[in-house]
Structures are given as C-alpha cells and as structure tokens.
C-alpha cells in the first residue's frame, strides 16, 4: 500500500495522474460513479432515490448523526420538501413546564437516530452496533465501490463455511460474516419517481446518497480546484517566462 | 485582471526600448497575478470566521405570546441575544404614540416599531445601543426609568414604552428584530 | 550618531526606522544582494518550499483551532462541523491535512539533496544538525496533530507511539502514565497534545531562523560541492533566486492543489473517519506514510526496547553523519561509488516505507530486517569506508569555470552528457 502511495506521490510530482490503488483482500469491482473524476458531480435524482432508501430502510437501524435535514438541499430537494421531511420526526425537547416533551423536527435538526444511545442500539441488535452512516463512504477502504459491493454481495455461504449465530455471508465483508442481513432486494422500496427498484439500482442510489452525505462539499471543492489549477498553471507559465528573462544575461 | 490593464497603461511611457518594456509588462502581469492569488488565498481564511451554516440555520425562533400578561415583558433568546417581548397596556401605547417626534433623540413613530393590528406587542432586541448592556425593566421589581420603558444600569440610558431612547448616552432606539406574526398568538423572530 | 546605523535607504520614513532598527538593511543584505552560487539546480528550491509550507500549516492551523474542540466528546464532531458547516472549513482542513504530507515530501527531498551533494559536510555540520532537529520537531508536531481528529487511527496511533516509552527500563511505565495524564489515552492526553501541537510550530520557526542564520554564515553549498571562489561564481539572491523560487513554488502549489481538491483523502486512512473507540483496535494499524520507514525499523527487531532504541538511533545517527563521512569531496557528482550508494540508500528507504505499511508477516519480516540492516550499514560502514577508499573525480577549478583548462584531466563521467543546469 505504502509503495503505491509513495509511487503516487512521485507520479504527482512528475505530473502523471495515478489511479488510486487500494490494498483490499478481496478485489472490489470498479463501478462508474457520477461523482468520479475532477469534473464529477452527484447524480441528484439517484441521490434523492438513495435518500428514500435510507429513510425507508437504513434509518431503521443506522444513525446519521452529522447530517442535518437542511443538508438535503444539496441533493436538490426544495425548502418546502425539506421542511415537510423534517416535520415527520419528533425531536425531544424540554417543554415550558420543564418536563421532557417532543416537538416537530426542523430543517436545522440533525437526522434523528433510530436509537437514543449505543446501549439501546446494541440491545435491539443482538449486541451488534449498526455504524453511523454520516461519513461511512470515507470510513471504508474502497469507498463507494465497497459499499456497492457489500450491498450486492450477499450470497449463500460456500460449502464448508460454518456461519456464526445470526451472521450472514457476504463476499466483500472482511471475514465474510456480517451481522446485518441483506438490507436491499428487488422491489425493496417503491420509488417515488417510478424508477424500477432492482437490487442493483437501489444499491447504486443509496451509495450515491451516502457519498453525498460524506462529502457534501465535493462539487464546490472540485469546481474550485479546476479554477485553482488553471490559475496556477497560468502563473507557472508566467513565472517561468519571467525567470528565463531574468536569467538570460547569466552565463551558466 | 484589471491590474493588467492598469499595468499596460504605464509601460509605454517610461521610454524603455521595445524589448525592455515587454519585459516590464510581463513582470507586472506576473506580480499582479501573484497578488490576486494571495488575495484569493486570504478570503477563505477570513470567511471561515463568519457565521457557519449551523449557526445561520438556527437564526429563527417561534414564540408563544399567550403567557405574557398584560403590562409585563419577557426575554426570549434569539441568535444568542436577548429579545424583549412586551405586552403593553392601552395607556402605555397611548403614551408612546402621543410623543411628538422632535422630542426624541432618534425620531421614530410608535407605529413604525410595531406590527399594525398588533400594537399591544412590542418586540425589541434587549441590548442597549450605547455599549451593549442588557437594560432593566422586564421584571416587576426592575426600574423602568422616567419614561416607563427600560433603564440601562451601565450608564443610565433610558427607553420609553416603544423602546425609543429618551435619555443618553445611548444614541439609538432599541433595535426591532425581523419578526412576523405566524398567528395572533405566535410570533416568529428571525 | 553613536549607536545608530547608517542606512542607505532613500525613503525618509524607512530610513528613520532603518537607522534605529536595521531590518531593511538586513533583508537587503540577506535576501537582496546575498551572494548565492549561480549553479543551483531545482533541488535547491526545496528549502524555500519548506518555509512556505510551514507558513501554510501555521495559518490554516490557527483558523482551524478557532473551530476545533479539544475534548474526547467533541473533537470528532467539531472536525466534522468544520468540514460541513464552517465557511471553507473543508478547504482549511484538507489543506492542513495534506499540507503535512507535502511538508514531509518537501523536507525529505531537501534532506536527500543535502546527502547527495554533501551539504552536511564541513563547514555546514551545525546547519545540518539544526536541520535534523527541525525534522524531529516536525515529527512530534505531525504525530500530535494526527491525534486531534480523534478517529480510530488517531487514538491507536497515540496509544502505540506513547507506549514506546514504556520500553525504558524501570521508569518506562511511569513516563507513559505521565504522558497520558491517566491510565490510558484519554481527555487529558488529547488536551495536552492540542496545546503542544499549537506550540511546537512556533518553536520550529525559531529553529528554522537559526537554520537560516547558520546558512547565511557559511553560504549555500552547490551542485559541484566546491567553495565559492570569486564574485563570478555568485549571483545576487534577488531577482535570480526569488524568481526561480517563485516558479518552483507554483509547481509545488500545483501538486498540492491537485491533492487537496481532487484526492483529499488519498494519503489518509479510511479508519480515521471512524470515531475513536478505546475498546476496539483496527485490524491493520499503520502510521501516516511519512513515518513508515521508521515504523519498519521499529518492528525489525523482536525486542521492545531494541526496536525503540533502533528507531531513535536511525535519526540520531543523522546528527553525527558529518563526522562519519570521511570523503574530502562533497558532491556525489565527483564520487563514483558514493553516487551509487545514494541510489541504493533511496531504494532502501522506499523499501523500508513499503515494509512499514504491511503487516509484519512472511517475507516482509526478512525484507524489513535486511533493509534496516542496510540503513545502518550505509551510515556506519559504507559512508566512512568508501569515503576513504574512493578515488574522486577531478574537481573543477571554480563554479564559473567548471572544467579545468586544457590538460586538466578528463571530464567527469556523465558530466558532459548532463548539463549542470536545466536552463
């Protein structure tokens, strides 16, 4: 891994773009994502469908603590839609009488977690803790490709593999035994926009959504990056010419 | 690249041979570009000190008016600042409306400081316009000053029942925050 | 006018200041007309780049600290808030995180340049030693900075590295407890790391200042490694090297920007986006890439104390390098054997980095031990012995007349084919 990285640094220094190489025990199938590359953007329709899957499926067990309802504007939802989505959850608060009560969610609220705390999550999940999904796309080696592979990688265990109690076989999970049962399947959700909900489509959409919530700054970052690189290239050219001129009277 | 145009304007006049002025021009373009680059670099640093999105997202609060009894006032927190919501008596409203503008330090009609049809409710930011202290006058035991509004304990500024400054050193009336009536008994500040 | 400096500066205001505090005269002397060898190649850009990089780190760091919360409960979330909510927070953080990698790239190239051209040799021994001190300070700063986001790698990196001190006989455990401020890496540890991470860069500035003072006393080395003979050999620093440094800086910023904007997490570890969990160690824990060679040396001996001693020796040995090198010639251009030794040494360091990034299993254990052995062999045996045995090529008379006049011997091999300056 390190040599790949060192090589990449060297390649960058010499001006070549190197493809990232991840040291993964199992080879992950490489997917094409709308957010790949220096000009990549999020496919907003896919991210919205992905949010629907998160809301209907994932959020039953997985929290997304870092994300606010207002962040949904980044996948193209309107303020009114965001308000309506936020209003569907009840947020604990302290009433005027000083007693705990609940109020309707606001765009400025964090996504509501399915469990009040880690112990409650473990108690409900057979001792396993469903990881927070706010930055999971960045927190897994392989990123979006890994998530997609995991979601579509459930199979029957090969002959001779002894499965732990309540564990499920997954081709791409390290160790192959995962506590989460296959979360997606053909027709798992009814898409609002009428897209056919195949397993692959669902996995692709929810991965796009997870990539967005992990990197909400990505589109702005890449746009800025293009400008910065162009500017620096121009300045490099200018300084090089000026340098040639300054040095033109030196015999060396 | 206005700096470039600027630089061009200067070069022909300084009497260098053709080659020399071309060199100077290039140097100026390079220097100007470098300065633009450094300026562009400074902006993200400065802007990072402005309010962040999570702070801006919390910039409005709803407030239920019903519990505020006639003649009393309460303090609501909005953007970390105290906002005074005062339920004015008919007498106080009349007193505020009857003042002639030339008697005021910072002339403003009472009508311009309340929402029409809701003139029993006065909503002002509870920060003295002198040096930022919170004036007294919301609690029944507080001094309200000679004009029955608020009294600032720091330097003795006094405000009337419309939140207008009547006695210095404060230069301006208490500010009215952006707010609106969601219903007759509920306001949204911000 | 006793005690006042006679300033040549025309502007009356600047003149007034300069007579009382001659900083303008000093800048003019040290960076304006400072006589600099005229034959630098682009490897001589990296000192200035390191300086720029240090400034970038300090400035972005100051603004990050305005939004960072040094507590185990708040650190991870505050970093995410910087990334999501603070205006341009993502830019500040990605510049700072990748800036650490860029800093080490720049400084390592700067050091290899010094090794290749013999810049550490007499009379620049102290200059070199101060540089090694800067490297140590940088390592401490980088290590503590990496702990601050309080992800899994932060936590376990801190645990493993602080535990190195437990190898010290008798007092080791007490020292580790002292470092932690408790019985494990926890809130007090994070707080003191933040404090020191903020402090050390300013110490680095001070030591960098000494580094530059020492440089300006001896003057720069150059690709030929011979002393400056006359003013014909030098150029005033400005404009020749200011413009060259500026051009180098643009290229450096291009590389930096490519990382920050298009691959900001490429050099990082996915595991550090998982909040620290003191009860679960990640399956594969490795330090950041710039520590990997040292990590490999640490693991190369199956003894706790031995590994720690070896790792610290690998840097300590650099302090005495000027006295280990017995060669009368500085530049590897005129040292046919040492030149190949340098190639082998670079390969060895890359190999150590590769070993450090892998689990210590199978063949990699042996490779790690051999490359560690070679690292020390290079400094302790090859450098002193080859320096004595090697027959250096004839040195040029001076920088401005790099080839001896007729009959002065053959051209050094490879010298004619490779012009000494690209421009």
Q: Where are the domains of chain A?
A: 8-67+110-216, 217-252
Is the predicted pLDDT of residue C404 greater than 70, yes or no?
no
Looking at domain A8-67+110-216, its CATH class is mainly alpha
Q: What is the pLDDT of residue B103?
A: 81
Find chain C residues with C-beta within 8 A of A232's C-beta: 250, 253-254, 257
pLDDT tens figures, C373-392: 999 999 999 999 999 999 99
Is the predicted pLDDT of residue B9 greater than 60, yes or no?
no
Tokens for C98? Answer: 């990748």
- What stretch of H or E contains A2? helix A2-13
Confidence band for A130, pLDDT divided at 50, 70 and 90 = very high
Distance CA A205, CA A31 (A): 13
**Closest residue of C to B45, CA-based?**
C63
pLDDT tens figures, C319-345: 999 999 999 999 999 999 999 999 999
Greatest pairwise CA separation for chain A in angstroms: 87
- Taking residues C192-220, what's their average pLDDT? 96
Tokens for B52? Answer: 């962040």
The C-alpha of C274 sits at a distance from chain B's nearest C-alpha, in angstroms, of: 22
Tokens for A2? Answer: 């390190």
* Assembly ipTM: 0.88
Instruction: Report chain B's terminal Cα–Cα distance, integer Å.
Output: 39
- Residue scoring higher pLDDT (B8 or C335): C335
Confidence band for B138, pLDDT divided at 50, 70 and 90 = confident
- Taking residues C402-415, what's their average pLDDT? 46
C316 in contact with chain B, both atoms CB, cutoff 8 A: no
SS3 for A208? helix
Confidence band for B78, pLDDT divided at 50, 70 and 90 = confident
Q: What is the pLDDT of residue A16?
A: 36
Query: Mean pLDDT across chain B, nearest whole number?
Result: 82
- Taking residues B52-56, what's their average pLDDT? 87
Report the C-alpha dihedral over residues A175, A180, A186, A191, rounded to 10 degrees.
Answer: -130
Select the residue from B3, B20, B33, B182 to test the A interface by mutation, using most A Cβ atoms within 10 A: B33
Block residue for tokens 């399947």: A185
Interface A–C counts its CB contacts (< 8 A) at 123
pLDDT tens figures, C234-243: 999 999 999 9
C77 in contact with chain B, both atoms CB, cutoff 8 A: no
- Taking residues A164-183, what's their average pLDDT? 90
Contact flag C274-A131 (C-beta cutoff 8 Å): yes
Query: Mean pLDDT across chain A, nearest whole number?
Result: 88
What percent of chain A is predicted at pLDDT more than 70? 90
pLDDT tens figures, C59-94: 999 999 999 999 999 999 999 999 999 999 999 999
A230 in contact with chain B, both atoms CB, cutoff 8 A: no
The C-alpha of C355 sits at a distance from chain A's nearest C-alpha, in angstroms, of: 8
Q: Is the separation of the CB atoms in B52 and C85 below 8 Å?
A: yes
Find chain B residues with C-beta within 8 A of A96's C-beta: 64, 67
Q: What is the pLDDT of residue C391?
A: 94
Neighbors of chain C with 3 or more C-beta pairs under 8 Å: A, B
Is the predicted pLDDT of residue C190 greater than 80, yes or no?
yes
Alpha helices in C263-382 (DSSP H): 292-299, 304-324, 336-356, 363-377
Contact flag A6-C263 (C-beta cutoff 8 Å): no
Q: Alpha carbon C408 to chain centroid distance?
A: 39
Closest residue to A228, CB basis, from C90, C101, C261: C261
- Taking residues A135-151, what's their average pLDDT? 95
Distance CA A136, CA A155 (A): 23
Q: What is the pLDDT of residue B161?
A: 86
pLDDT tens figures, C142-164: 999 999 999 999 999 999 999 99
Name residue B183's beta-bridge partners. Answer: B186
DSSP sequence for C229-264: -SGGGEEEHHHHHHHHHHHHHHHHHHHHHHHHHH-T
Residue ranges per structural domain of chain B = 3-48, 56-189
- Taking residues A188-211, what's their average pLDDT? 94
Contact flag B53-A231 (C-beta cutoff 8 Å): no
Distance CA C312, CA C307 (A): 9
What percent of chain B is predicted at pLDDT more than 90? 9
The C-alpha of B126 sits at a distance from chain C's nearest C-alpha, in angstroms, of: 28
Distance CA A208, CA A219 (A): 13
Q: What is the pLDDT of residue A160?
A: 87
Tokens for C340? Answer: 């190949």
CB contact burial C193-227 (16+ within 10 A = b; e otherwise): bbeebbebbeebeebbeebbebbeeebbbbbbbbe
Q: Is the separation of the CB atoms in C195 and C203 below 8 Å?
A: no
Q: What is the pLDDT of residue C1?
A: 52
Confidence band for C420, pLDDT divided at 50, 70 and 90 = very low
Short-list B88, B62, B67, CA closest to B77: B62
What percent of chain C is predicted at pLDDT more than 70? 94
Closest residue to B47, CB basis, from C85, C88, C246: C88
Is the predicted pLDDT of residue A4 greater than 60, yes or no?
no
- Taking residues A204-223, what's their average pLDDT? 96
Q: What is the pLDDT of residue C268?
A: 92
Closest residue to A250, CB basis, from C38, C90, C265: C38
* Strand-by-strand arrangement of the B179-183 sheet: B61-64, B186-189, B179-183
Is the predicted pLDDT of residue A48 greater than 60, yes or no?
yes
Lowest-confidence segment of A205-209, B53-57, C60-64, C419-423 by average pLDDT: C419-423
Q: What is the pLDDT of residue B18?
A: 53
Topology of the domain comprising B56-189: Rieske Iron-sulfur Protein (2.102.10)
- Taking residues A141-153, what's their average pLDDT? 94
Is the predicted pLDDT of residue C405 greater than 70, yes or no?
no
Distance CA B63, CA B182 (A): 9
Is the predicted pLDDT of residue A11 greater than 70, yes or no?
no
Using DSSP bridges, classify how beta strands B158-160 and B148-151 pair: parallel, antiparallel or unpaired.
Answer: antiparallel
- What stretch of H or E contains B180? strand B179-183
Is the predicted pLDDT of residue C421 greater than 50, yes or no?
no
Is the predicted pLDDT of residue C260 greater than 50, yes or no?
yes
C-beta contacts of A69-75 below 8 A and 24+ residues apart: A69/A105, A69/A106, A69/A107, A69/A108, A69/A109, A69/A111, A70/A107, A70/A108, A70/B53, A70/B57, A71/A213, A71/A216, A71/C84, A74/A42, A74/A212, A74/A216, A75/A42, A75/A44, A75/A47, A75/A48, A75/A50, A75/A51, A75/A209, A75/A212
Interface B–C counts its CB contacts (< 8 A) at 37
Q: What is the pLDDT of residue B13?
A: 37
CB contact burial C255-294 (16+ within 10 A = b; e otherwise): bbbbbbbbbbbbbbbbbbbbbbeeeeebeebbbbbbbbbb
- What stretch of H or E contains B75? strand B73-78
Is the predicted pLDDT of residue A234 greater than 50, yes or no?
yes
- Taking residues A151-155, what's their average pLDDT? 94
- Residue scoring higher pLDDT (A96 or B40): B40
Distance CA C314, CA C298 (A): 10
Q: What is the pLDDT of residue A5?
A: 53
- Taking residues A54-63, what's their average pLDDT? 94
Is the predicted pLDDT of residue C112 greater than 60, yes or no?
yes
Phi, psi of B180 (to 5 degrees): -150, 160
Q: What is the pLDDT of residue A180?
A: 92
- The Cβ of residue B8 has, within 10 Å, a number of other Cβ atoms equal to 12
Q: What is the pLDDT of residue B23?
A: 72
Q: What is the pLDDT of residue B12?
A: 38
Distance CA C34, CA C43 (A): 19
Q: What is the pLDDT of residue B140?
A: 80
Q: What is the pLDDT of residue A209?
A: 97
Q: What is the pLDDT of residue C41?
A: 94
Closest residue to B54, CB basis, from C85, C88, C92: C85
Is the predicted pLDDT of residue C123 greater than 50, yes or no?
yes
């Amino acid at each position: 891994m390190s040599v790949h990285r060192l090589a990449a640094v060297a390649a960058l220094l010499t001006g070549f773009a190197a493809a990232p190489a991840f040291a993964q025990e199992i080879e992950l199938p490489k997917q094409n994502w709308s957010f790949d590359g220096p000009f990549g953007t999020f496919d907003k329709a896919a991210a919205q469908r992905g949010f629907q899957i998160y809301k209907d499926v994932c959020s039953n067990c997985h929290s997304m603590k870092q994300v606010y309802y207002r962040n949904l504007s980044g996948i193209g939802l309107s303020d009114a839609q965001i308000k309506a989505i936020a209003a569907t959850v009840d947020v604990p608060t302290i009433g005027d009488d000083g007693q705990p009560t609940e109020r309707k969610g606001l765009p400025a609220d964090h996504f509501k977690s399915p469990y009040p705390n880690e112990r409650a999550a473990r108690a409900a999940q057979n001792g396993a803790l469903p990881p927070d999904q706010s930055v999971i796309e960045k927190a897994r080696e392989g990123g979006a490709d890994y998530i997609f592979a995991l979601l579509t990688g459930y199979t029957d265990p090969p002959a001779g593999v002894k499965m732990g109690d309540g564990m499920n076989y997954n081709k791409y999970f390290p160790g192959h035994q995962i506590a989460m049962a296959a979360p997606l399947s053909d027709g798992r959700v009814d898409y609002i926009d009428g897209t056919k909900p195949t397993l692959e489509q669902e996995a692709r959409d929810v991965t796009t959504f997870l990539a967005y919530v992990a990197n909400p700054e990505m589109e702005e970052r890449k746009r800025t990056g293009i400008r910065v690189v162009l500017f620096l290239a121009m300045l490099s050219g200018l300084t090089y010419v000026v340098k040639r001129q300054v040095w033109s009277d030196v015999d060396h | 690249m206005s700096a470039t145009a600027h630089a061009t304007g200067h070069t022909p006049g300084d009497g260098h041979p053709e080659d020399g002025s071309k060199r100077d021009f290039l140097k100026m373009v390079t220097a100007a570009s470098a300065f633009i680059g450094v300026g562009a670099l400074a902006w993200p640093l400065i802007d990072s000190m402005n309010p962040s999105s999570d702070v801006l997202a919390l910039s409005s609060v709803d407030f239920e008016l019903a519990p505020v009894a006639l003649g009393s006032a309460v303090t609501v927190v909005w953007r970390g600042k105290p906002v005074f919501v005062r339920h004015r008596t008919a007498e106080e409203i009349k007193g505020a409306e009857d003042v002639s503008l030339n008697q005021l330090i910072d002339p403003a009609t009472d009508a311009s400081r309340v929402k029409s049809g809701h003139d029993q409710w006065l909503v002002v930011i509870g920060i003295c316009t002198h040096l930022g202290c919170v004036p007294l006058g919301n609690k029944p035991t507080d001094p309200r000053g000679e004009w029955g509004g608020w009294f600032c304990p720091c330097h003795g500024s006094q405000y009337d029942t419309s939140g207008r400054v009547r006695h210095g050193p404060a230069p301006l009336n208490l500010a009215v925050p952006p707010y609106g009536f969601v219903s007759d008994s509920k306001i949204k500040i911000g | 006018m006793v005690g006042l400096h006679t300033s040549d500066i025309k502007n009356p205001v600047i003149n007034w200041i300069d007579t009382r505090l001659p900083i303008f005269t000093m800048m003019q002397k040290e960076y304006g007309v400072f006589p600099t060898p005229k034959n630098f190649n682009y490897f001589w850009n990296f000192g200035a780049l390191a300086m720029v990089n240090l400034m970038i780190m300090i400035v972005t760091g100051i603004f990050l600290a305005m939004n960072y919360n040094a507590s185990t409960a708040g650190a991870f979330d505050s970093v995410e808030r910087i990334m999501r909510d603070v205006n341009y927070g993502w830019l500040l953080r990605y510049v700072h995180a990748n800036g650490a990698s860029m800093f080490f790239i720049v400084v390592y190239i700067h050091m290899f340049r010094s090794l290749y051209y013999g810049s550490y040799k007499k009379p620049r021994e102290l200059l070199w030693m101060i540089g090694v001190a800067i490297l140590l300070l940088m390592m401490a700063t980088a290590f503590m900075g990496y702990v601050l986001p309080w992800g899994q790698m932060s936590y376990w990196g801190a645990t493993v590295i602080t535990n190195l001190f437990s190898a010290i006989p008798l007092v080791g455990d007490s020292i580790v407890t002292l470092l932690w401020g408790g019985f494990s890496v926890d809130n007090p540890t994070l707080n003191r790391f933040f404090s020191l991470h903020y402090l050390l860069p300013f110490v680095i500035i001070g030591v960098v200042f000494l580094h530059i003072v020492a440089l300006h006393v001896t003057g720069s080395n150059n690709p030929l490694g011979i002393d400056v003979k006359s003013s014909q050999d030098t150029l005033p620093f400005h404009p020749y090297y200011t413009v060259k440094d500026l051009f180098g800086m643009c290229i450096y910023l291009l590389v930096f920007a490519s990382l920050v904007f298009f691959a900001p997490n490429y050099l990082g570890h996915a595991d550090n986006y998982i909040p620290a969990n003191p009860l679960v160690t990640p399956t594969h824990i490795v330090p950041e890439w710039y520590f990997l060679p040292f990590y490999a040396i640490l693991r190369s001996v199956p003894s706790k104390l031995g590994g720690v001693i070896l790792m610290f020796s690998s840097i300590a040995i650099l302090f005495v390098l000027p006295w280990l090198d017995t060669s009368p010639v500085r530049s590897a251009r005129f040292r046919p054997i040492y030149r190949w030794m340098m190639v082998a040494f670079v390969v060895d360091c890359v190999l150590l980095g590769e070993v450090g990034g892998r689990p210590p299993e199978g063949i990699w254990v042996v490779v790690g031990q051999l490359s560690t052995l070679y690292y020390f062999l290079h400094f302790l045996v090859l450098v002193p012995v080859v320096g004595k045995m090697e027959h250096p090529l004839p040195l040029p008379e001076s920088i401005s007349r790099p080839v001896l006049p007729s009959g002065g011997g053959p051209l050094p091999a490879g010298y004619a084919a490779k012009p000494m300056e690209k421009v």
